[in-house]
Amino acid sequence: MLEYILLIVGFGSGSASSAASLIESPLITDRGEWGLYEECPPEMYVYGFQLLSEPDQGAFGDDTALNGIYLLCVHLAANRNIPGLLGWGPSSTEVVTISSTVGPEGYTRGIFQCPVSSWAIGFDLRVDYEHGIMYDDTAANNFKMRCTAGRDLEGDAEPWGEWYGFRTCPAGHVICGIQTQVEEVGTSDDTTLNNIKLGCCQPI
């Protein structure tokens, strides 16, 4: 929880956006408010992610599934000029994490990284549609990242719902920012993360 607060304070409001465009998840569910758009610092771009998700709470527990997406930013120079560097990752001071709003449930999962020298250029969001008042809804369940190396990384969150297809940045652009729509917990049937918009920047 402390980490969550620090991330919001540290990167929630900073320099102006340099995104040329936003790619958005299709509107399958629409609960909650949009958080602040967060962007990688200048000359840093997204190359990986880590998910925050709540595991199955069982037949009588309220599930929220995917709560948040942490995007990992690294310097253009670091990613391109040090191929094969061992130990680079979120423990490195060269990596900055951005997330916009994150729900409070679950735990952080594994770290997924595009191959060295490649960047994130698209995403797919797995979403479960609204099942109505008698059923437990979860909205977003899992996340995939598309990398420039022609590789897709599938996250390790929850299995409900379905994939709706990749959204990708315009040619020559890579992912550099994130904005999330998250339903606050506290109602009878919570869903937390519902939709995302990712910023696309043209590397300098």
CB of 124 or CB of 137, closer to Ca ion: 137
CB of 38 or CB of 63, closer to Ca ion: 63
Helix (H) or strand (E) holding 41, with range, is none
- CA dihedral 79→82→87→93, nearest 10 degrees, is -60
169-201 core/surface letters (b: 16 or more CB in 10 A; e: else): beeebbbbbbbbbbbeeeeebbbbbbbbbbbbb
CB of 1 to Ca ion, least distance (A): 20
Q: Structure tokens of 133?
A: 């008042």
CB of 63 to Ca ion, least distance (A): 4
CB of 137 or CB of 158, closer to Ca ion: 137
Tell whether residue 124 is a contact of Ca ion (CB under 5 A): no
CB of 109 to Ca ion, least distance (A): 19
CB of 191 to Ca ion, least distance (A): 5
**Amino acid found at 177:** G
Give the count of residues interacting with Ca ion (CB under 5 A).
Answer: 9
Length of the chain, please? 204
Q: Binding Ca ion by CB under 5 A: which of 38, 39, 54, 63?
A: 63
Where along the sequence are the contacts to Ca ion (CB under 5 A)?
57, 61-63, 135-137, 189-190
